[in-house]
Amino acid sequence: MSSNLDIQTKGLSKNFGSVIALQNLDLEVQSGSVFGLLGPNGAGKTTAVRILSGLLKQTSGNATVCGFDINTQRKEIKAATGLLPETPGLYSKLSAVEFLEFIGALNDMSGELLHRRIDSLMDLMGLEDRQNDLLESYSSGMKQKVLVASTVLHEPKLVFLDEATSRLDPSASALVKEIIMAMAKEMDTTFFICTHMTDFAEDVCEVIGILNEGILNTLGSPRNIIEQVEAEDLEDAYLKIVGGQVDRSKLLSWRD
């Protein structure tokens, strides 16, 4: 497998009983690039991320992540990657600093370096005034910011972001965008972003894959995809590919 690829999958599939969540995913993600996986709810995006981050076993197929095999080198994959899960699994009874200390310790970090990083990240996220408050009192956007900080804390080579900005307000979303682009450009960090927010994907991602019902049916740059389906923008292209065009005649029929 090529050394400048951080993700390479071959026929990756996952079934949950009779439900096919992911079907024959063939994908290559360049090192240092920002890749976006778009798709409706239940398309298989989270399943793909969980398999690639070593949390879920695939039913068939194979993949390498940062050069490590997903079947035999899960520990190495976890050390090289960071994951921001779809739903925040924060400890409600820890403060932001304590939670980041906890995540740092799980990644074998401690001491001065860890605390310096935590302080800098809290400052960057605009949470320095609330950093010692228990997380239970944080808004969902603030929690998301803490999770973003926890994901990049150990400077992973590859970052999986599962719906990273869905709970963020526009300014916080813009901040996350900037962090992603800065890390990709300056630190050569690879980003694998799952989202259904087309405007975010269009702004940030160099390559986009559209997943629907477990099948990757479109792959290319945002411009390329828009041109392929003769759409106005990525949202229009997405709707044309995935479906979901609104039938206006039915909009108010529920009153009948």
Closer of 5 and 96 to other proteins (Cβ): 96
Least distance (Å) from other proteins to the CB of residue 250?
26
∠ CA 188-191-195, nearest 5°, is 160
The residue (of 75 and 185) whose beta carbon lies closer to other proteins is 75
Cα–Cα distance, 253 to 256 (Å, whole number): 6
Nearer to other proteins, 39 or 54 (CB): 54
CB of 180 to other proteins, least distance (A): 18
Q: Which is nearer to other proteins, 111 or 243 (CB)?
A: 111
Nearest alpha carbon to residue 208 among 39, 64, 66:
39
Minimum distance of other proteins from residue 215's CB (angstroms)? 21
In this structure, which long-range contacts are made by residues 138-145, counting pairs with CB atoms below 8 Å and at least 24 apart in sequence? 138/90, 138/96, 140/88, 140/167, 141/167, 141/168, 141/169, 141/172, 143/88, 143/90, 143/167, 144/88, 144/168, 144/172, 145/172, 145/175
Please report how close the Cβ of residue 8 comes to other proteins at its closest, in angstroms. 19
Of 10 and 115, nearer to other proteins (C-beta) is: 115
CA–CA separation, 153 vs 172, rounded Å? 18
Task: Specify the residue, 148 or 241, whose C-beta has the smaller distance to other proteins.
Answer: 148
- What is the closest distance, in whole angstroms, from the C-beta atom of residue 166 to other proteins in the complex? 14
Q: Residue 19: helix, strand or coil by DSSP?
A: strand
25 pairs with which residues across the strands?
A: 12
| Residue the block writes with tokens 């949950």 | 16
Structure-token match 């992911």, residue found:
22
| Residues forming beta bridges with residue 107, ordered by sequence position | none
Q: What minimum distance in Å lies between the beta carbon of 51 and other proteins? A: 8
Instruction: Give min distance, CB of 107 to other proteins, in A.
Output: 5
Closest to other proteins by CB, 166 vs 219, is 166
Tokens of 241: 């590919």
Do 30 and 6 form a contact (C-beta atoms < 8 A)?
yes
Q: Which residues are near other proteins by CB under 8 A? A: 16-17, 50, 53-57, 74-76, 78-79, 81-83, 85, 87-95, 98-99, 101-111, 132-134, 136-137, 150
Cβ distance 192 to 37 under 8 Å? yes
